Amino acid sequence: MTSKRIHLRKTPIYIFFLKKQIPQDFKKIPLEDFTSYSVSKDDDKILLNLEKISKLNTLQKNYKLFLIGQALSKYCKSGDFFIDYFGCEQTDVKNFILGWNLANYNFNKFQSKKFQKKIPKISHESNDEISLLTESYFFIRDLINTPANILGPNEIFNAAKKFLKKFTLTNFVVGKKLEKNFPLISAVGQGADDSKKPIFCEFKFNKKKSKKKVFLIGKGVSFDTGGLNIKTGSGMSLMKKDMGGAANCIGLAKLISDFNLDVDLRLLLCLVENSVSKKSIRPSDIIKSRNGSFVEIGDTDAEGRLILADAITYACEKNADLIIDMATLTGASRVAMGIDVPSFFCNDEDLAMKLIDLSQKTGDPLWQLPLWENYSGQLNSAHADFKNIGNSMFGGAITAALFLQKFVKDIPWIHIDLMAWTKANKFCSYEGGEAMGIRALLELIKRI
Ligand SMILES: [Zn+2]
């Protein structure tokens, strides 16, 4: 139980996970019933009964706490609160607090009428840690929500540079050098206007005694029209979020530096706009990648894996100990998992088990899909080494991951295929860009 002396003027929120934990004098208070919880609010206390979620598995229980935190923040409207809880660990309550903080997010830069929202405050032992997480979440959301007429590759780069104060820029490649050294990144971005020209960049955060070299690679397609294999209107409508992998990697990198983790961290961003123009790559074009293999373009809309491939090759050349890429890569992953749950792929079983465990403990969903080698023939090409898309209408998230794996040398590697977008639901009305997987990955990197 939290010390009450420091919370004199704050209203307590008492959280119970089991009915039997509710103190006798609270038992008669009638609670308002919601789908996943029940609550009562008066001037001097709030009771929150979470019995309905107490039987969920660890991942879903933690995820629900995150959602209920958002709902309760909205329910409390304004004021100053502190938390007292019964029947759970301090770490569980962190999800509730993070959710509470995220409910205060607004993206109203482009709305002429701004409503000043009152923000309810909450105190908890983990406030400092949650504030850092909140800051990264807000950065990621802002970056994804900013449309492509305002945010192109160069603006993403500038935003990263500004946000990553403890990092050094170690590589910035554009133009002829990009064409020569990162031919796939250059090819995908070649259809865009000069003001949106493709960029490969590397930021470094290095602790003196750090031993492990970790590469984070973000897919940063500032807008994805699909290229000459143009998307439908509805397929294109959310495509400002196709830089969500890069946004998440920048947010995660910031957290790694905030927590001062003992790693040699390299952040690689592949920043392009996938446009339609006379310069765009064509289906059937064959491009020699950085690692020398020839890739036939089966579909210009499968561009994310192309830009990641050259960055993965670069990370392998630099003797990475661990490579993590994050990308809004396939619709197939969304079809399989829905929007909340990113899929992940991993070439190292122990590492995959660790990540699953941390995903559950943090309540940050990540679900493993197989690198099903038997499908790799689907990438065969008649005229090049392989194609960038499978020839089957099934298993598209897996064949995309198998394509990336062709560029990974014998190095532990995690590929995250995420939505980077959330829709309004009964817990929260927010719709827009979203951080996904970064809390689980942060805990993983703490432990390598
Ligand atoms: Zn695409």
Residue 301 lies inside a defined structural domain of this protein: yes
Residues 148, 53 share a domain: no
Residues 137, 90 share a domain: no
pLDDT at 446 over 70: yes
In this prediction, residue 44 carries a pLDDT of: 87
pLDDT at 1 over 50: no
pLDDT at 7 over 80: no
Residues 10-50 pLDDT 10s:
899 999 888 788 888 888 888 899 989 999 988 889 999 99
Residue 442, classed as helix, strand or coil, is: helix
In this prediction, residue 92 carries a pLDDT of: 72
Say how far apart CA 89 and CA 112 lie, in whole Å.
Answer: 44
CA of 95 to the centre of ligand 1 (A): 33
Number of domains in the chain: 2
Q: Which residues contact 202 (CB under 8 A, 6 or more apart)?
A: 169, 170, 171, 172, 266, 267, 268, 269
CA of 226 to the centre of ligand 1 (A): 5
Residues 136, 93 share a domain: no
Q: Which two tokens stand for residue 100?
A: 């509470």
Residues 135, 86 share a domain: no
Residues 423, 355 share a domain: yes
Give me the amino acid identity at 393. M
Residues 119-148 pLDDT 10s:
889 988 888 999 999 999 999 999 999 999
How large is the angle between the packed helices 90-102 and 127-145, nearest 10 degrees?
40
Q: Measuring CA to CA, which residue among 132, 140, 52 is closest to residue 97?
A: 132
- pLDDT band at residue 2 using 50, 70 and 90 as cut-offs: very low
Query: What proportion of the chain, given as a percentage, has pLDDT over 70?
Result: 97
pLDDT at 228 over 80: yes
The answer to whether the CB of 184 falls within 8 A of the CB of 290 is: yes
Residue 112 lies inside a defined structural domain of this protein: no
- pLDDT band at residue 311 using 50, 70 and 90 as cut-offs: very high
pLDDT at 3 over 70: no
Q: What is the DSSP letter of 232?
A: P
CA of 27 to the centre of ligand 1 (A): 55
Residues 231, 97 share a domain: no
In this prediction, residue 123 carries a pLDDT of: 86
Residues 171-191 pLDDT 10s:
999 999 999 999 999 999 999
Residue 439 lies inside a defined structural domain of this protein: yes
Residues 156, 297 share a domain: yes
In this prediction, residue 151 carries a pLDDT of: 98
Residue 363 maps to which CATH number?
3.40.630.10
Domain of residue 412, residue span: 130-446
The enclosing H or E element of 248 equals helix 244-258
CA of 273 to the centre of ligand 1 (A): 10
Give the CA dihedral 56, 57, 60, 64, nearest 10 degrees. Answer: 40
Say how far apart CA 370 and CA 116 lie, in whole Å.
Answer: 47
Annotated catalytic residues are 231, 305
pLDDT at 90 over 70: no
**Ligand 1 ion: nearby residues, β-carbon < 5 Å:** 224, 301, 303
Lowest mean pLDDT among 5-9, 197-201, 365-369: 5-9
CA of 153 to the centre of ligand 1 (A): 16
CA of 300 to the centre of ligand 1 (A): 7
Q: Measuring CA to CA, which residue among 124, 178, 169 is closest to residue 12?
A: 124
Give the DSSP per-residue string, 250-316: HHHHHHHHHTT-SSEEEEEEEEEEE--STTS--TT-EEE-TTS-EEE-S-TT--HHHHHHHHHHHHH
